[in-house]
């Protein structure tokens, strides 16, 4: 199953988030305190094709906020962690980065024809995407 280490890796690891992150509670504290911008950059680089990266980043954190601040707000950090969590789960289910990205960027019938990457930008949407991915863990169609 996906652990905090998988999420941390997509956020850029301890080098990006902080060397003190050794547990899920530490990661939660880092998110609450505000992640560095680099964490968002890392997850966007993993999750999005090059042509979509700026658009995705700006949907998570508005461009003006991103440019003005070195650290993300708690709310933007939570959105960044959520995106990393969904991407990490897709990576774990598909065991292939390219297939995980394809899943995230293709429309899905169980999401009303929306793309998982779009739905995952809200907490409820992320849970919906995680439920679909959880079926893949058990060998059911995703």
Confidence (pTM): 0.94
Give the tens place of pLDDT for each residue, 89-140: 999 999 999 999 999 999 999 999 999 999 999 999 999 999 999 998 877 7
Instruction: Give me the pLDDT at residue 125, please.
Output: 98
| Per-residue pLDDT tens over the stretch 57-96 | 999 999 999 999 999 999 999 999 999 999 999 999 999 9
Q: According to the model, what pLDDT value does residue 135 have?
A: 92
User: Would you list the domain boundaries of the chain?
Assistant: 4-137
**Dihedral of the alpha carbons of 1, 87, 4, 26, in degrees to the nearest 10:** -160
Instruction: State the Cα–Cα distance between residues 17 and 8, nearest whole angstrom.
Output: 8
């Amino acid at each position: 199953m996906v652990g905090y280490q998988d999420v941390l890796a997509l956020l850029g690891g301890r080098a990006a988030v902080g060397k003190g992150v050794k547990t899920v509670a530490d990661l939660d504290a880092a998110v609450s305190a505000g992640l560095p911008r680099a964490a968002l950059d890392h997850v966007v680089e993993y999750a999005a094709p090059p042509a979509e990266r700026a658009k995705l980043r700006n949907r998570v954190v508005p461009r003006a906020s991103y440019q003005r601040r070195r650290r993300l707000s708690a709310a933007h950090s939570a959105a960044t962690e959520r995106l990393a969590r969904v991407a990490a789960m897709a990576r774990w289910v598909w065991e292939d980065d390219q297939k995980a990205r394809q899943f995230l960027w293709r429309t899905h019938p169980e999401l009303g024809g929306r793309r998982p990457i779009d739905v995952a930008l809200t907490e409820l949407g992320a849970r919906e995407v995680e439920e679909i991915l959880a079926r893949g863990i058990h060998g059911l169609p995703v």
